[in-house]
Structure 1
Amino acid sequence: MLLYYLRTFLPWLLLAVVSGWNDQAGAAAGLAAAVVLLALDLRKGSRLDALILEASALVFMALLTALAFADPHSVLMNYGASMAIGWLALTAWGTVLAGRPFTEGVGRRNVTDEIAATDLFKSITTVIAVVWAISFTVIAVVLAFVQHAAPDNTALLVAAKVAGFAVPIVFTARYPEIAQKRYFARHGIDREAVR
């Protein structure tokens, strides 16, 4: 699971790291990574609903790269980190509001079609998507504040990003098991019989 998230967020990580040196290079590196990762996933036959974050990264990186080269001194470039996470928040909230949380497609990679069709699966993936959306929103707001008030405080920027991603990653890893236990207990289902 951790490798999935590292791979999925590689364009965003490259953007963050390389932009510390040069905004144009950071945006271009993020865009290149987004193009390559999406192309590899499509080539290996991944379902489109499992690639929402990857497609969203591609669109954001393309827009940011265009801005970075068209107007490299734009005040918006001072808020690259908060804009990036804000974009992820909009993506996550959009999928939740559309009734197709991005986590549903990701979760389908690890379950059968029968399990993916259950209300329990849909409930779990929706809750996880909401947690990610909340986390992205909080990180974006915190980063915008830090980038405005203390833009050179790299330690605080990094700490906000790490905490903001650690919480939903840990939640995503643990919540399905917890939700299944509650569901089975509430319905009197023997978990061993289901396996």
Structure 2
Amino acid sequence: MNYIKGFVPWIAFSALSSVVGWQWGALVALAATGWAILRDRRSGVTVDAQILDLGSAVYFAALTAVAFAAPHSVLEQYDGALSSVWLAAIAWFSLAVRQPFTEGIARRQTPREYWGTAAFRKVNTTVTLVWTASFTATAFAAFACDALDAPTLVRVAYQAVGCGVPAYFTHRYVARVRAARAALEVQTAIPAVA
């Protein structure tokens, strides 16, 4: 569940915005993102492994500035949709530059000897594609809900599905890949019987 840590600022923003206002939600999310970046840099995480965090910092810095400068801006009405669009943009960008954002997260729980392998790249490209598709679909759902003034339950449901489906996929897919790798290692370690 290490990959969920990257979304903590987004979850905090979503939760706090409705309680204390979007300005303070954005500011707390920015602080949480900054703390995560600094913590990871101190522990040796490279910048290329922080695509999600750096993209989040840019978004929350801009949103905080706008929210405090114009607290009654029409952007507040679309902050959920804009968040999904930005997450999709980060994910699409990471794929375009051939640095799937999930790679940085996966490196924190995968032995270094696997990082340069084609299999590691393929797994992370696949996982990032699923998250990217989900962010994109969630952005469309958010704009539709805003346009149709959908009830809160519908908004919570699409957010839960938009996060839950790729999280479940990631967990199952990575577990299946690890099991296959472990089986292959066992199989190659056993000498052939004549």
* Cross-structure match for 1:193: 187
Q: Deviations over 1:91-130 (max 9, x none)?
A: 0011111111111222122223321111111111101000
The alpha carbon displacement at 1:160 in A equals 0.8
Flag the 1:150–1:117 CA change in 2: closer, same or farther, 3 A.
same
For the pair 1:19 / 2:17, whether they are aligned, the reply is: yes
User: Which of the two has higher C-alpha Rg?
Assistant: 2
State the distance in 1 between where 2:134 and 2:35 align. 27
When the two structures are aligned, how many residues end up with a matched partner? 187
Report if the CA contact (8 A) 2:3-2:105 is conserved. no
Report if the CA contact (8 A) 1:135-1:165 is conserved. yes
Name whichever of 58-67 and 27-36 sits farther off: 27-36
For the pair 1:88 / 2:87, whether they are aligned, the reply is: yes
* Cross-structure match for 1:166: 164
Q: Deviations over 1:19-64 (max 9, x none)?
A: 1131211111111111122122212222222221111111110010
- SS of residue matched to 1:121: helix
The alpha carbon displacement at 1:131 in A equals 0.4
For the pair 1:137 / 2:131, whether they are aligned, the reply is: no
For the pair 1:37 / 2:36, whether they are aligned, the reply is: yes
Identity %: 35
- SS of residue matched to 1:190: helix
Report if the CA contact (8 A) 2:3-2:102 is conserved. no
* Cross-structure match for 1:70: 69
State the distance in 1 between where 2:148 and 2:11 align. 23
The alpha carbon displacement at 1:6 in A equals 3.7
Paired letter, 1:105: G
State the distance in 2 between where 1:126 and 1:178 align. 16
State the distance in 2 between where 1:119 and 1:94 align. 20
State the distance in 2 between where 1:13 and 1:112 align. 29
Paired letter, 2:149: A
Report if the CA contact (8 A) 1:49-1:106 is conserved. no
Name whichever of 89-98 and 108-117 sits farther off: 108-117
State the distance in 2 between where 1:175 and 1:17 align. 29
TM-score, normalising length from structure 2? 0.88
Report if the CA contact (8 A) 2:82-2:139 is conserved. yes
Report if the CA contact (8 A) 1:14-1:29 is conserved. yes
Q: Structure 1: 5+ residue runs without aligned partners?
A: none
Name whichever of 83-92 and 17-26 sits farther off: 17-26
The alpha carbon displacement at 1:176 in A equals 2.6
Report if the CA contact (8 A) 2:16-2:24 is conserved. yes
Alignment of 1:53-68 (within 5 A): 53-68=52-67
